[in-house]
Amino acid sequence: MIPRHRERLAQSIGNAVGNELVSQETVFNALFDTGFFNRKVEGFVNSYTSELLSTVYPSLIEALPTGARAPVLDTIAALQYRLAEHIASVLKSEQTSDAIEKFVDRQVDSVYNCCLSTLYVESIQAVCQKAPIRSGVLYDLNLIAADKAHQESVITGLVTVNNPH
């Protein structure tokens, strides 16, 4: 029976195993749900990167033919010199000087305003602790304070002093 129907029997066994025992879902689950595929990919990537990182590569100059090294080094030196000249000219320019001056002025003004506004608020709070504030005084303080942020900090400070809860 086996020799005569061997091909048909093999086909039946193959169909039974392929359709009943090992389905596409079973293969996907075995590869992805168990982490098998992730481990294999991670192992491959790790071994490849380790090999790349452990290989010592020559520098650009060493990789060049001996006859081309001197001209390349001369060109690099010339580029460095031109770049240094350009940087020096930019730093010496009037535009750079103006930009640095404006930057320093802004920084000094910022520090000065911060210190002045803190001193101003502390002074107003000290006065307010000694005497109750009327609404007219708050209006006057609004007029005195120059910018919106300063106005808000002064008024918030005053309200906090007069109504500590």
112-125 pLDDT, tens digit per residue, is: 776 666 666 666 66
Q: Extract the residue ranges of the chain whose pLDDT is less than 70.
A: 1-3, 18-22, 114-165
As given in the structure block, the two tokens for residue 120 are 């101003």
Residues 53 and 12: their CA atoms lie apart, in Å, by 52
The pLDDT > 90 percentage for the chain reads 26
Residues 2 and 14: their CA atoms lie apart, in Å, by 15
Q: Could you tell me which of 35, 162, 53, 30 has the C-alpha nearest to residue 154?
A: 162
